[in-house]
Amino acid sequence: MSVAEPSGTSPDRNASPGDGSGGRVPPRDPAGAEDGSSPSAGSAVPTQPTGKAGWRARLAAARRAVPAGVRATEADALARAAVAAASTFPHGPVCCYLPLPSEPGSPAILDALRAAGHQVLLPVVPPDRYAAEGPSALYWAPYLGTHALVDGPMGLRQPPAAWRGPAAVAEAALVLVPALAVDRRGVRLGRGAGWYDRTLPLARRGTPLVAVVRDEEVVETLPTEPHDVRVTHVLTPGGGWRAVQALATHLD
């Protein structure tokens, strides 16, 4: 679950006071920082937004313009790419999230990973939810199918019990996270709540941190701040799973 991402189960997506997986972790901002504007050309992402708020608004508008048929085709491609990526890391669970309707992917990613024999952990909004200094790290729980999810805080769908603490992410062989965009340096733009920025540092050193985005959402440069945790890989419908280092060639 983008744990901050509701209705899907992904946080970080519904920005809470801070920054977004059916099991998705912290909430993404359902309404997010969207300004209601519509993209000028289909689902193309403007190249020069200003600041994180500008990027979030335009990327969200571009996603709203993606036709349902394209979403479905891309969701199938992402499910196949996720299984291919996970096959490289057979030992250990895969931390993932339940994509929101507006996000790339679908529950098919989770079901395909389970069908391939992987244990899938979804993010859970922690009981304490917010520490004095902001959102706490996400909890995790096994994904047993969409039928087993229940309504959680902030409109999220999440596993009902058997929650594990934030340290569970350290057992993961692969971590898939929601994102609005990623740049060639590995800078990930989330919804702004900060759940994943507090969670990803707990992953084992060397564990692939993979942002799931549309191909158009891999961009040259995104604004960043000191607390932003960078990803090591991207997963897109057309390009599959790639290391951030390979993005330089892709964008040149």
pLDDT at 251 > cutoff 60: no
Element (H, E) at 80: helix 68-87
In what side-by-side order are the strands of the sheet with 240-243? Answer: 139-142, 120-124, 94-95, 174-178, 209-212, 233-236, 240-243
User: Mean pLDDT throughout 51-77?
Assistant: 95
pLDDT confidence bin for 202, thresholds 50/70/90: very high
- CA nearest to 141, candidates 156, 159, 127, 115: 159
pLDDT (0 to 100) of residue 135 = 61
Q: Which two tokens stand for residue 79?
A: 């499910």
b/e sequence 112-142, b meaning 16+ C-beta within 10 Å: bbbebebebbbbbbbeeebeeebbbbbbbbb
Say how far residue 118 (Cα) sits from the centre of its chain: 18
pLDDT at 197 > cutoff 90: no
pLDDT confidence bin for 30, thresholds 50/70/90: very low
Cα separation of 218 and 183, whole Å?
6
Q: What is the pTM of this model?
A: 0.79
pLDDT confidence bin for 211, thresholds 50/70/90: very high
User: Mean pLDDT throughout 60-77?
Assistant: 96
Could you give all domains of the chain from N- to C-terminal order, each with its CATH number? 51-251 (3.40.50.10420)
